[in-house]
Structure 1
Amino acid sequence: MASNQPSDGVDPQVLIEEKSYVKIITMNRPRQLNALSANMVSQLLKSFIAYEEDANVKLVILKGKGRAFCAGGDVSAVANDVTNGHWKFGANFFRKEFTLNYILATYPKSQVSILNGIVMGGGAGVSIHGKFRVATENSVFAMPETALGLFPDIGASYFLSRLPGFFGEFVGLTGARLDGAEMLACGLATHFVSSSTLPLLEEALFKVDTSDPVVVNSIIEKFSQRVPLKQRSAFLRFNQKLFGGPTSKSKLKLAHFEWIVSTGASPKDQSKKFCMHLSEKAGCKVLISASSESSECAAMSCEEKSAKISLRALLVDKDKNPKWEPSKLELISNEMVDRYFTKVDDEEWEDLKLPRRPTPTISAMSKL
């Protein structure tokens, strides 16, 4: 049985199907690579809350239509709101999105995300926090926020800071792209399944009549496989030995430029991602603070402040020529960074307050 079907000739942005005790949610903006709109975030949040209370729902499957799972939040709309003086519209979008991320990170029922395509930014927020993340040979993961003048939000500081060997810090600060094998190796994905086998996996999952993660895991394991990393894999090259020790920050910078050389990108273009704007230092602060916290809650409340950082060059002007101010990393003071972590000076604004959850927090990086 399917719901959310169009009644006016316009395709809905979220499709929902029901198979016995299983709900299948499909993000349906393929031309926009399933970028999360305010409408989509609202529908997803409403659905997950409803399914949590529904005893007839044992499992939720989330996937995307087309060649992307979800390429992130529709932050170009947020940028336009900020440009037009309506910063609260964008801030409220992030507020609802972060609440959705937190709901998923503390969800009592099993959730399986089928990551058969692009998984970036906000797309990671609606998947990596879930219990099961199935990558394929088509998966492409990245956190590209620093290139946009932002820093990784959506609870990413929690799961990135818990990847092995400071690899998460590298991924978060450089926007490096990972394939499905790398996602599995570092723990962003829990399983790897060939895209040609996905229909069989889904058919098997449709028969689930329990929320027991052990049962769900055993089903996925029947279709999963171990895949070798490519010789030039970022995960192999930027390992714990490279990042370990007191000089890890300088080594991280060196590793970034090695990545540039390996991909053939121009250091002049790519260095903007890492060395020339405020979001790099702000991102460092978020990742460092989140690595010492015991729950997603602290990371989420910290990242809610990121809604105050505006962006233009890549999303609005599309000239890919951002004018960073200050223009150099060494010109950025700690006081300038701290400004983005202070309360909003507006009597009508309230900081994000995450809902009380009846279930214990479940780490996205926990093991079965």
Structure 2
Amino acid sequence: MSASVLAAQLRLKTINRLQIIVKHLSMSSQTSSNAEVLLTKTGSAGVITLNRPKALNALNLNMIRLIYLQLKRWEEDKDTFLVIIKGAGEKAFCAGGDIRAITDAGKTGDRLAQDFFREEYILNNAIGTFKKPYVALIDGITMGGGVGLSVHGQFRVASEKTLFAMPETGIGLFPDVGGGYFLPRLPGKIGLYIALTGFRLKGRDVQTAGIATHFVDSTQMSSLEKDLVTLNCPSKDDIVNVLDIYQKKSDAVEDKPFVLAEHLDKINRLFSANSVEEIFENLERDGSPFAMKQLEILNKMSPTSLKMTFRQLTEGASMSLQDVFTMEYRLSQACMRGHDFYEGVRAVLIDKDQKMKWKPERLVEVADDYIDSCFASLGSNDLKL
């Protein structure tokens, strides 16, 4: 072998080593233990770990961007057969979005109030249209932004520690991240009930309601993940088989009745209405302790959010997922322009006095023309998927 050929081969090896080092360094911000989101390739799986346990893994714009870019890479990578997403720590999968930052941005007109919702919904849509199996281990608190990261994927695995809720009407917002798509598709009127009241589902009830696809004991989650990532070139059926096996292990515990079982008939009847006002009338007319409790809860919520949410779910029931995200982006920006979101965040998250002063204060004062304007096109600023 000539000296020139040998030198060329050595240069090529050096370049290859440098490329590997550069690639490693470029991933270091995503894999170091203090990163906000960890993105790792383990066996046949891409694994996303939301890594803000002290903030209950709340989602911020940086995390959204990192997850989206990596998802797109894994979708095209022939050696990645599935994606697993989970939360770090003992308490939460993801308790929502970084509401405080969005609030501050909205008050000052910072672009974050637009970019966060826009890019979050684009990520949610990428999950909903992902070409490969996507497994969300919702082992802990799962609210708001955490719902968007999980519910649109093929598999959602709940545990006894799962706490699922969409409490947005209580802070002057609406159940976004595709809530207008999946909530009206739950059995009966459960989705509308959850959306308006912010009712919390726990453990097995998350699966019974149709939100989770599987239930696995929390102590088995690590073992489940290990078995999933070590599957050799798995098909969707292979993944289903593993999930089913773990669910059967967890079925040894005696099932409790669904938390809403005794109220389902009332929910389906009383929440079958043409308007929020009609729901209030139904509850008042019924007069049962359950109905009175729901009235008490609903009277604490933002009247504007209630009317916005009712229409969101009514229209979303017949929309594609993409059209729902376009609609919800319009609603998000209407909330950023309004009053109740800032008041709700103040009362619930900042001052924590729970003394919300909604404007308007009563349902009857929320003009239909105003609600219409919330759903109106943003023209060139509309969400494009």
Unaligned runs of 5+ in 2: 1-23
Unaligned runs of 5+ in 1: 355-368
Q: Report the CA distance shift for 1:339/1:65 in structure 2 as closer, same or farther (over 3 A).
A: same
Matched residue count: 343
> Partner residue of 1:361?
none
Say whether residues 1:185 and 2:208 are aligned partners: yes
Q: 2: CA distance between counterparts of 1:236 and 1:48?
A: 42
Asked if 2 retains the 8 angstrom alpha-carbon contact of 1:134 and 1:189, the reply is yes
> Partner residue of 2:35?
12
Asked if 2 retains the 8 angstrom alpha-carbon contact of 1:242 and 1:248, the reply is no
- Give the root-mean-square deviation of aligned CA atoms: 2.9
> Partner residue of 2:332?
307
Q: Report the CA distance shift for 1:121/1:107 in structure 2 as closer, same or farther (over 3 A).
A: same
Q: 1: CA distance between counterparts of 2:49 and 2:291?
A: 34
Q: 1: CA distance between counterparts of 2:48 and 2:364?
A: 46
Instruction: Describe the superposition over 1:88-145 as per-residue Cα deviations: whole angstroms up to 9, x where unpaired.
Output: 3211110000000001001110011001100001100010000000000000000011
Say whether residues 1:83 and 2:107 are aligned partners: yes
Instruction: Describe the superposition over 1:287-334 as per-residue Cα deviations: whole angstroms up to 9, x where unpaired.
Output: 0001112x2011111001122203222344443222211100111121
> Partner residue of 1:199?
222
Q: Report the CA distance shift for 1:3/1:208 in structure 2 as closer, same or farther (over 3 A).
A: farther
- Which of 334, 351, 360 in structure 1 is aligned with 2:382? 351
Q: 1: CA distance between counterparts of 2:323 and 2:46?
A: 30
> Partner residue of 2:92?
68
> Partner residue of 2:7?
none
Asked if 2 retains the 8 angstrom alpha-carbon contact of 1:118 and 1:140, the reply is yes
Q: 2: CA distance between counterparts of 1:260 and 1:136?
A: 31
Q: Report the CA distance shift for 1:279/1:113 in structure 2 as closer, same or farther (over 3 A).
A: same
> Partner residue of 2:355?
321
Q: 2: CA distance between counterparts of 1:198 and 1:251?
A: 40
Asked if 1 retains the 8 angstrom alpha-carbon contact of 2:303 and 2:361, the reply is yes
- Which of 43, 53, 58 in structure 2 is aligned with 1:35? 58
Q: 2: CA distance between counterparts of 1:242 and 1:102?
A: 32
Instruction: Describe the superposition over 1:12-41 as per-residue Cα deviations: whole angstroms up to 9, x where unpaired.
Output: 000123222111110000111011011111
Say whether residues 1:296 and 2:321 are aligned partners: yes
For 1:83-232, list aligned pairs within 5 A: 83-86=107-110, 88-210=111-233, 212-225=235-248, 226=251, 230=256
Q: 2: CA distance between counterparts of 1:38 and 1:176?
A: 27
- Residue identity opposite 1:167 in structure 2: I
Displacement after TM superposition at 1:167 (Å): 0.4
- Residue identity opposite 1:14 in structure 2: V
Q: Report the CA distance shift for 1:154/1:5 in structure 2 as closer, same or farther (over 3 A).
A: same
Displacement after TM superposition at 1:344 (Å): 3.8
Say whether residues 1:283 and 2:309 are aligned partners: yes
Asked if 2 retains the 8 angstrom alpha-carbon contact of 1:59 and 1:210, the reply is no
Give the structure, 1 or 2, with the largest relative contact order (CA under 8 Å, sep 6 or more): 1
> Partner residue of 2:5?
none
Q: Report the CA distance shift for 1:170/1:241 in structure 2 as closer, same or farther (over 3 A).
A: closer
Of 200-209 and 316-325, deviating more is 316-325
Displacement after TM superposition at 1:6 (Å): 5.7
TM-score, normalised with respect to structure 1:
0.85
Q: Report the CA distance shift for 1:62/1:9 in structure 2 as closer, same or farther (over 3 A).
A: closer
- Residue identity opposite 2:204 in structure 1: A
Asked if 1 retains the 8 angstrom alpha-carbon contact of 2:31 and 2:38, the reply is no
Q: Report the CA distance shift for 1:302/1:257 in structure 2 as closer, same or farther (over 3 A).
A: farther
Asked if 2 retains the 8 angstrom alpha-carbon contact of 1:117 and 1:138, the reply is yes
Give secondary structure in 2 for the equivalent of 1:220: helix
Q: 1: CA distance between counterparts of 2:271 and 2:50?
A: 39
Of 232-241 and 100-109, deviating more is 232-241
Asked if 2 retains the 8 angstrom alpha-carbon contact of 1:20 and 1:207, the reply is yes
Q: 1: CA distance between counterparts of 2:316 and 2:210?
A: 17
Instruction: Describe the superposition over 1:221-246 as per-residue Cα deviations: whole angstroms up to 9, x where unpaired.
Output: 00104476645712552346535755
For 1:48-59, list aligned pairs within 5 A: 48-59=71-82
Structure with greater helix percent = 2
Q: 1: CA distance between counterparts of 2:136 and 2:31?
A: 29
Sequence identity percentage: 34
- Which of 322, 332, 339 in structure 1 is aligned with 2:366? 332
Q: 1: CA distance between counterparts of 2:40 and 2:256?
A: 37
Q: 2: CA distance between counterparts of 1:198 and 1:76?
A: 31
Q: Report the CA distance shift for 1:351/1:248 in structure 2 as closer, same or farther (over 3 A).
A: closer
